[in-house]
Amino acid sequence: MTDAATPDAATWLSDLGDLFDRVEQVAGVPLQTLWVSELEDQSILLPASDADPVHRILYRDNTHETTPYLVAMEAVQLLRVLQAPGEQQLAMLPRREARERVVSEAERRNRDLSLAQQRKVGLNLYNTTLSQLRTVPPAMAVDRWLFEQLPQLRSRQDAFLRQQCQELAEGLALGMDRRMPPLVLQANRAMDAAYAIHAATLSGVPEFSLPYQGSAWEELGTELLQLAQASTSDAAESTEVSDPDRQVIDAWAERLGIARWYDWS
C-alpha cells in the first residue's frame, strides 16, 4: 500500500514494486510507504509490531532525486534483518568505561569550552563513532545489493553517493581534528575513507574518494573494505546462517582499536 502525493512519486514507487513484494513475502505482513512532509529525517523505517502488523517506510520529500534510493535502502535493510535468524539480531550496547575514557580525553582537548560543553563533545564523539561503526558496513552492503539487483536506480544511487561523499568532504574541512581523541579521529576518518572509496568504486566516479587519496586514511579505509569483503566471503561459504554485518563490524572495530567499546546483547 502506498500514499503517492505526486505523479513522480507514483512512478518511482511503481519501480520499487518488485522489491516491496519481496519484502512482504518474507515478512508475511504488508509494507506501506507514506509521504510525511514534516518528517525530521529524510526517511525512516517503522517496523511492524504485534499491535500494528504493518511495516512502514516514511519519507519526507517525494520529489527529490535521492528519495527513491533512500526508500529502497530502508526496504532492503528491512529485508536483510528479516532474513537474519532471530538469535543473530543483537543490539550494540555501549560500555560505560569506554565512554567515560573518551569523554575524559575529549575534555582535555577542549579546555576552551565550559565543563558541560566539554562533556557534551565527548559523549557526542563516542556515540557518533559507535553509530558510524554500526551503520556504515550494512549501508555499503545495501548499496551493493541495490547496484546488482535494481539497475533502474543507478542514476538515483549515483546522486545519493555523491551527496554522501560531499558531506564527508565538508566534515574534513571543519578543522575538528584537534578536538578529537586520536582513536576517535582514526576511526572516524578511516570509516569515512572506506565509504568514499566504496562509493567511488561502485559508481565509477574516482572523484568521490579524492579528499582521501594519498593519505593514511585512504590506506586504512582500503584495509577496512578488504576486511568487509573477507567477512562477506566467509559468511557466504559457511554452512551456518549468520549475520554478516556483525562479523564485519567486529572486524572493523578490532582493526580500529575500538573493539572494547561495546557489547552485543
Taking the C-alpha atoms of residue 182 and residue 188, their distance in angstroms, rounded to an integer, is 10
Together in a domain, 120 and 22: no
- pLDDT value of residue 85: 73
Strand, coil or helix: 93: strand
Same domain, 155 and 186: yes
Same domain flag for 27 and 95: no
- 79 shares its domain with 97: no
Whether residue 108 sits in one domain with residue 32:
no
* 56 plus 78 within the same structural domain: yes
| Residue where a domain stops, chosen among 83, 111, 134 | 83
Question: What was the pLDDT predicted at 242?
Answer: 57
At 238 the pLDDT is 46
Residues 140 and 53 in one domain: no
154 and 99 part of one domain: yes
CB 16 within 8 A of CB 72: yes
Q: Looking at residue 2, what is its pLDDT?
A: 44
- Are 41 and 67 contacting, i.e. CB atoms less than 8 angstroms apart? no
**What is the domain count for the chain?**
2
- Expressed as residue numbers, the domain containing 31 is 2-83
Judgement on whether residues 109 and 70 belong to the same structural domain of the protein? no
Question: Residue 187: its pLDDT value, please?
Answer: 97
What is d(CA 183, CA 186) in angstroms, rounded to the nearest whole number? Answer: 5
* pLDDT in the model for residue 236: 46
| Residue given cell 516491496 in the structure block | 20
Which helix (H) or strand (E) segment holds residue 33: the answer is strand 31-35
- Which residues is 32 bridged to in the sheet? 56
pLDDT per position as a tens digit, 50-108 = 999 999 999 998 888 999 999 999 999 999 999 887 767 789 999 999 999 999 999 99
pLDDT at 201: 97
29: domain CATH number is: 3.30.2010
Domain-terminating residue out of 51, 83, 115? 83
Mark the ranges of the chain whose per-residue pLDDT is less than 70.
Answer: 1-7, 87, 233-242
Q: Residue 58 and residue 80: Cα distance in Å, rounded?
A: 18
Report if pTM > 0.85. yes
Domain boundary among 83, 110, 145: 83
Cβ partners under 8 Å of residue 48, min gap 6: 27, 29, 54, 55
Q: Is 238 exposed, middle or buried (0-12, 13-18, 19+ CB in 10 A)?
A: exposed
